[in-house]
Copies of this chain bind each other. A is one copy, B any other.
Amino acid sequence: MYPPLIQKLIKQFSKFPTVGPRTATRFVFYLLRMGETEVEEFVSLISQLKKRIKSCSFCFNPFEPVQILPGKISADEEGKNLCLICRNPSREKSLLCVVEKESDLASLEKIKKYKGLYFILGGNISSLRKKDFEKLKINKLIERIKNPAEFGLRDADFQEIILAINPTTEGEATALYLERKLKPLNKKITRLGRGLPVGGELEYADEETLESALEGRK
């Protein structure tokens, strides 16, 4: 019905998160209406993304490595595979915060209160299927807690592991599983506090949230 090229692109966009075939179609027609130079810029940004963005060797946070000028030897050659957070000497090297995904890390960084390091787990256990467990970087997390120096963090020695996993059903399952896996390491393991969100009303809070709020009173 649509030309084959448009159909192919609709199929590609349909694979994007939250996008169905109808929205994908709108995306393609949006691109068709876009100016020539705008599309070129957009396409070049995507091409650069895969080439220039690297995953931090310690925490898996995506970052853009600083270009080292040819001929100039960088004094910081060692930290070149680390993201800006892991490379920052003023971050507390005794705190490790485990998050599900990149945007959770970004949310925590935005409040500018947490000074420790991070680890991006790569998702949660949503179906208890084997592939769910495989995509989680649990073994990588354990390796990094045991021996941070091997992954580029020379002076780290974690005392506390904060499981900043979403308090959803899937997140709860993930956190319980993680706690069991991390127990043999003998580190202090904490979770984010639960209770009423700021601006929330008791009347509309669900039972579990109210229960957590009551337990967590201070």
Contacts and interface: CB of A to CB of B under 8 A. Distances in A.
Contact of A16 (B3, B12, B27, B106): B27
The oligomer's copy count stands at 2
Contact of A32 (B3, B23, B29, B62): B62
Contacts of A22: 103
Nearest to A105: B1
A102 B45 contact: no
B25 A50 contact: no
Interface residues of A, number: 46
A64 B30 contact: no
Given A25-B103, A106-B2, A32 B8 contact: no
Interface in A1-36: 1-6, 8-9, 12, 16-18, 22-23, 25-32, 34, 36
A186 interface: no
A187 interface: no
Given A26-B17, A109-B1, A9 B101 contact: no
A57 B43 CA distance: 27
A3 B23 CA distance: 28
Contacts of A67: none
A129 interface: no
Contacts of A2: 62, 106
Interface string A44-77: 0111111011000000001110000000000000
